[in-house]
Structure 1
Amino acid sequence: MSIEIIPYADRWPSEFQLIATPLRDRLGDLALRIDHIGSTAVCGLPAKDVIDVQVTVRSQDSEDRIVDSICALGYVHLEHIRGDHLPLGMDTTSERWVKLFFLTPQGQRRVNLHVRVAGNPNQRYALLFRDYLRANPIAAEGYAEIKRQLARYHPDDEDAYYDVKDPVCDIIMAGAEVWAAINAWRLGSSDA
């Protein structure tokens, strides 16, 4: 599938809510938080037309229950994806970057569903990255331009797209960490 960056769509927040409601109902207390993450969660930011959702869980001790609950909603568990990109300069102990990853089946609204453990750096990374871009239009526009150019030069090469985008995100996170410290950033309420 070709990578295409489209202008921000006002429908993305309400589409997230339509996705999150059945997840909340099905997961119950397994989900500590359900959040809209990624570029579609940043007002005005161009993005791929894919809703990224992060479900935060207490631990992966209940992995079978989590997988069964999410798959019962029709999601496909990609078992080979067990963790996130390990950013330079952060705690890169691989077990602290574990996750479960799910997609919606072909023909349904495209969703990337990430299940991460509360307190792990990858859980915080997604939320801080989102909040920083929401608060910093210059950083958001620079990120948008990187994504547009990557899609232009590598529309059919997802590996190349992410090989460049991931380190760019790490650079943005360096600024986000300074911003978080200055502003005493804390996690807000869960989105769903």
Structure 2
Amino acid sequence: MRAYEEITRHRDPDPSENPWVVGPPAHETVTIVPYDPQWPRRYQTLAAQIRAALGDVALGVEHVGSTSIEGLAAKDVIDIDLTVADPRQEDRYVPALERLGYVLVIREPSFHEHRCLRFPDPPVNLHVFGPDSPEAIRHRMFRDWLRAHPDDRALYEEAKRSAIPGGGNVMDYNARKQRIIRDIYDRLFRAAGML
């Protein structure tokens, strides 16, 4: 099935594309902290603000990433997926989010038209995708799998901790844990009958 192929395909960034809207990020020290039960409440507050600012433009707002998985240690950054009708129509959502304090930092036309806005305090990565984006579906599937599979949750946490000593920026940290992430994805895709 074609839709399954899009969801199960692992993608690497397009080397010819410069995704940075305001230049690459400054060096950030990656710190993993124990799970914080305040993360879901923080997400709820942020999501309510986003929905209020965007109204009907926000087709969906989801808590994703490690802070959405109870018991998982993580960077103290809330990841949110925002679904809009067309991420390319930035004038429909970016100005309203900028008024809240978000800054557009990534534009990736080759990656399902992904946009990412950051909010400094509390730290947020707001990922923008269109309806039925394969990557947004992957995010939800990964979150739900780790919520239900403690062995893979522990494996992922160990991969995160092992990725820190290499130093570098967040992108380097993400690259060092990528093999484990892809192994978990393959496991969950097989279990869902998608591979």
The TM tier, using the shorter chain, reads 0.7 to 0.9
Partner amino acid, structure 2, of 1:114: H
Q: Secondary structure at the match of 2:132?
A: coil
Taking structure 1 as the reference length, the TM-score comes to 0.81
Tell me what 1:186 maps to: none
Runs of at least 4 residues of structure 1 off by over 3 A?
Answer: none
Q: CA deviation at 1:96?
A: 5.3
1:170 to 172, 176, 182: 182
Partner amino acid, structure 2, of 1:82: R
Tell me what 2:146 maps to: 133
Listed one character per residue, the Cα deviations across residues 80-135 of structure 1 (whole Å, up to 9, x for unaligned) are x223xxxxxxxxxx745321111113xx2111110111112111111111111111
Q: Alignment RMSD, CA only?
A: 1.7
Tell me what 2:130 maps to: 117
CA contact (8 A) 1:132 1:179 kept: no
Quote the Cα distance in structure 2 between the aligned partners of 1:164 and 1:69: 35
CA contact (8 A) 2:82 2:126 kept: yes
Which ranges of structure 1 fall in alignment gaps of 5 or more residues?
Answer: 84-93, 183-192
Q: CA deviation at 1:156?
A: 4.2
Tell me what 1:33 maps to: 60
Tell me what 1:101 maps to: 116
Tell me what 2:4 maps to: none
Residue 143 (structure 1) aligned with residue 160 (structure 2): no
CA contact (8 A) 1:53 1:114 kept: yes
Q: Secondary structure at the match of 1:72?
A: helix
CA contact (8 A) 1:8 1:40 kept: yes
Tell me what 2:41 maps to: 14
Partner amino acid, structure 2, of 1:109: P
Q: Secondary structure at the match of 2:100?
A: coil
Change (3 A) 1:76 1:96: closer
Q: Secondary structure at the match of 2:193?
A: helix
CA contact (8 A) 2:58 2:82 kept: yes
Partner amino acid, structure 2, of 1:172: I
Tell me what 1:82 maps to: 107
CA contact (8 A) 2:87 2:113 kept: no
**Stretch of structure 1 that moved more, 24-33 or 154-163:** 154-163
Q: Secondary structure at the match of 1:181?
A: coil
Residue 68 (structure 1) aligned with residue 131 (structure 2): no
Quote the Cα distance in structure 2 between the aligned partners of 1:129 and 1:97: 18
Partner amino acid, structure 2, of 1:133: L
Partner amino acid, structure 2, of 1:46: A
Q: CA deviation at 1:16?
A: 0.4
